[in-house]
């Protein structure tokens, strides 16, 4: 629906790292790969997915902008 995910929403990065959505839909991730998948468990229990590429590994902070979660 284009709205930010609610704070506290559970997110799995590449099926190994569990994290949570912060305020305003912000998400901080560590140890991303060049190709990644997030599996988000929405508050109503329905999962959705986000795939993104992060390029070559770097120590720089990478801003991926807005990403859309799709069923």
Res. 19: pLDDT tops 80:
yes
Number of H helices, E strands in the chain: 0, 4
Q: How confident is the model over 24-70, as pLDDT tens digits? A: 999 999 888 999 999 999 888 899 999 999 887 777 788 888 999 99
The whole-number pLDDT of residue 55 equals 81
Confidence band, pLDDT 50/70/90 cuts, at residue 23? very high
pTM of the model: 0.85
Residue burial 49-68, b: 16+ Cβ < 10 Å; e: rest: ebeeeeeeeeeeeeeeeeee
């Amino acid at each position: 629906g284009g709205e930010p995910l609610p704070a506290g929403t559970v997110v799995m990065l590449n099926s190994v790292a569990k994290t949570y959505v912060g305020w305003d839909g912000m998400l901080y991730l560590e140890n991303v790969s060049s190709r990644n998948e997030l599996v988000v468990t929405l508050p109503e229990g329905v999962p959705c997915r986000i795939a993104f590429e992060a390029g070559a590994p770097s120590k720089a902070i990478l801003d991926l902008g807005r990403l859309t979660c799709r069923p």
